[in-house]
Structure 1
């Protein structure tokens, strides 16, 4: 979007004339290129920017009128300024040339000053048209970006959308969002268009003096020529040729910057880029605030949910949450035709332990036993403190034989572990009841839990410190 040196293309079969005119144009601040015939003209215009075409009507083969007509049939070039040159008197060819879409007609030979004045006029009109077109495109792009960022995106998703769309809109290689406070020594890059995988990179801000200055001033900072700008004195950053830093605030406080950079071969950033990026960021700040508020609310809800479903003493899932977890696992086993084992465990003689050693010692044993179960837990298993000294373990995709191996392992771990105070360990035993779904005696989760409880009572009545299924 930055203003560039005007690009002029000369199409003339007289190569000596074309070289002379190209040199003259370059001496007057234009970039000029030349073609000797029209065979590759449309292909050239499709891949290279041209601000003005100077077309000689007297071309061999396909004449200039046919080329002019072909150019105007292409929607991408229908408003390209075309100045036609002709050795015939302008009065003879002007009406036809202008009717086909020529912007101006100049007779050969011409006076240099007059030609340059006509070129300036055509470029000025083209630039005004290009500016209007650029503003229209920028407005349309801004609407697209806002439509995309005003959805229910998480902050990390929103950041990625913003850097990707701004970089694409400005056609620059690097756009990043960096969070930092004024005066901070370090900042966190949360998104970068050149590296979509980057999410949270800590950077030393002393390497980015433009970021430090923009954060401190709170104003946009445009560096058109990084290599010669005093701001970069003593800073080794050879890959940056121009940069734009736009601070943004969240909830009334300066929070960070949008950081745009170009490299070797890229058009330098300019005022048009500042205007476009500023409009995007002003609108995006509200979207970022909304997204962060939503994420904080969701996190708060999740913390509250976890607190409501967690046993405060052991940190295990509590009895309140067991019902929904058990129902989900039974539904999953039914849907996929797999098995599910429910393990109910009771610490033997726990009431006596509390009476002899005190409730503090009893709590310590509950915590230690919960840790033992947690160490044996697979990623898919669910360990629950059912109440008092009773625990439940749900073993998805585990049948009777696997459940017995699990019970034997837990019994063995308990027998080899020390509970209570290490200086005065307390002997602990457990009884286990197993029930596996599907079973004709357990059609749903509640029935499966009752069956495991009955088997637990059998283990106790058979002498404790064992399992039954």
Structure 2
């Protein structure tokens, strides 16, 4: 559990003195810690946030001065307030310690009021310096964040940039963006700094009372100490020790929240964090709107493009789209020295079937046959309706042997399939013509199509219900 009291580390070989000072500090609202040997100092500083070090300058081998000099060379600890404690040759020890960067020196036996006054003074100075540096880091993080979000990022990437930069700017482990409306029972996690792969996850808002309250009220909610917060009473054990929820609006309507959290061992969130996060949201809102608009426009363009390239009856690619795909696949085969087979397929006696069973039955047969081809399609294959009852399948990296196996499989599938209505099945057969690139008769996409078409005519003239290559 994070303590709000300043943490004072006492490094002194005199255990009795250390216990006395520790009790004194506890009684005056501080959070004391103690070491009697300098060997554990590095690990202690790496795992605990120390606000002030009370350092014994009389450690054996002048270790106290060595520690002081080392701390001042380390960028991580050069601003840590260090109050030296001298027990002999006080004037000489003070001059040397202050020269090495000690914040102050006090002599044993200590006077209680003097010690407390000096601790208060140096903690106050240390807090002011740390706050100034934190503000500077936050401003630098904000500048970097604004630089990133002003680029034309798609929404998913933009949200990930935002949570990552806010978490880095505030030095917290978890920041999330969640979309939801006031009164909603479920909300959607758009991005989370602790898990870059997490997105579009729907969660029950009832598990997060702070989010529900902020969403419904539209006001920022800061929980500095989750353990003592009444809204968490009766809930399961919380990993969160403090949280900050900041609602945001898009186009004048409440759209979701930024959700910031700390855990055990992290400094609690405070008002300064609110100021930084509010600046981020203010700057990010227009970028979020722009990204969402761009995504919506791209989606509409994709839908229009798909409509322009799709056969409305079967849902396969149309002739126009096939021409583009064929050109691309021939170029790819030429560039990489691979092969490409074009399969042209015709439903046998389709006009007669239409005349006998009606155009509605004919359309149903075409739709069912298209679905059969789609089931046989590999991820790299291209299936298109060429026109009328003719279909084309492009088989990249497939030569004559593979194409023949494909044709035989399609013939078997058609012979075993039921076309038309279940109560009135309509028997059909198909003919297939194969052409493979490169070939002296197929030097480009157009000639490849003509070769497949000629072989289709051969299959039909040879009796239909077969393939030719």
**Does the TM-score normalized on the shorter chain lie above 0.5?**
yes
Paired with 1:38 and 1:414, the residues of 2 have a C-alpha distance of 84
Contact 1:42 1:71 in 2 (8 A): no
Paired with 2:241 and 2:258, the residues of 1 have a C-alpha distance of 17
Aligned to 1:111: 111
Once the two structures are TM-superposed, the CA of residue 87 in structure 1 deviates from its matched residue by: 4.9
Contact 2:141 2:168 in 1 (8 A): no
Aligned to 2:9: 9
- Mean CA deviation greater in 29-38 or 17-26: 29-38
User: TM-score normalised to the size of structure 2?
Assistant: 0.89
User: TM-score normalised to the size of structure 1?
Assistant: 0.89
Paired with 1:378 and 1:64, the residues of 2 have a C-alpha distance of 73
Paired with 1:351 and 1:320, the residues of 2 have a C-alpha distance of 24
Are the structure 2 counterparts of residues 116 and 422 from structure 1 closer, same or farther at C-alpha, using a change threshold of 3 Å? closer
Aligned to 1:309: 309
Once the two structures are TM-superposed, the CA of residue 101 in structure 1 deviates from its matched residue by: 2.7
Paired with 2:457 and 2:264, the residues of 1 have a C-alpha distance of 78
Paired with 2:98 and 2:13, the residues of 1 have a C-alpha distance of 22
Question: Residue deviations 1:137-160, cap 9 Å, x none?
Answer: 122222333334444433233333
Paired with 2:393 and 2:188, the residues of 1 have a C-alpha distance of 42
Paired with 1:302 and 1:134, the residues of 2 have a C-alpha distance of 45
Question: Residue deviations 1:28-61, cap 9 Å, x none?
Answer: 1112234446566566545543322333444432
Aligned to 1:245: 245
Question: Residue deviations 1:236-285, cap 9 Å, x none?
Answer: 35433332211111222111112223344443332233223333333333
User: Is 1:122 matched up with 2:122?
Assistant: yes
Paired with 1:110 and 1:201, the residues of 2 have a C-alpha distance of 59
Are the structure 2 counterparts of residues 270 and 348 from structure 1 closer, same or farther at C-alpha, using a change threshold of 3 Å? same
Question: Residue deviations 1:340-381, cap 9 Å, x none?
Answer: 211112233334444454433433332233223223323322
Are the structure 2 counterparts of residues 413 and 118 from structure 1 closer, same or farther at C-alpha, using a change threshold of 3 Å? closer
Contact 2:242 2:269 in 1 (8 A): yes
Are the structure 2 counterparts of residues 463 and 105 from structure 1 closer, same or farther at C-alpha, using a change threshold of 3 Å? closer
Aligned to 2:180: 180
Aligned to 2:333: 333
Aligned residues: 468
Query: Any gaps of 5 or more consecutive residues in structure 1?
Result: none
Once the two structures are TM-superposed, the CA of residue 417 in structure 1 deviates from its matched residue by: 4.1
Paired with 1:44 and 1:404, the residues of 2 have a C-alpha distance of 73
SS at match of 1:75: coil
Paired with 2:242 and 2:74, the residues of 1 have a C-alpha distance of 34
SS at match of 1:182: coil
User: Is 1:289 matched up with 2:289?
Assistant: yes
Are the structure 2 counterparts of residues 69 and 203 from structure 1 closer, same or farther at C-alpha, using a change threshold of 3 Å? closer
Contact 1:222 1:244 in 2 (8 A): yes
Aligned to 1:455: 455
Contact 1:343 1:432 in 2 (8 A): yes
Paired with 1:245 and 1:8, the residues of 2 have a C-alpha distance of 31
- Mean CA deviation greater in 138-147 or 177-186: 138-147
Question: Residue deviations 1:172-197, cap 9 Å, x none?
Answer: 44333222100111212233344444
- Mean CA deviation greater in 14-23 or 317-326: 14-23
Query: Any gaps of 5 or more consecutive residues in structure 2?
Result: none
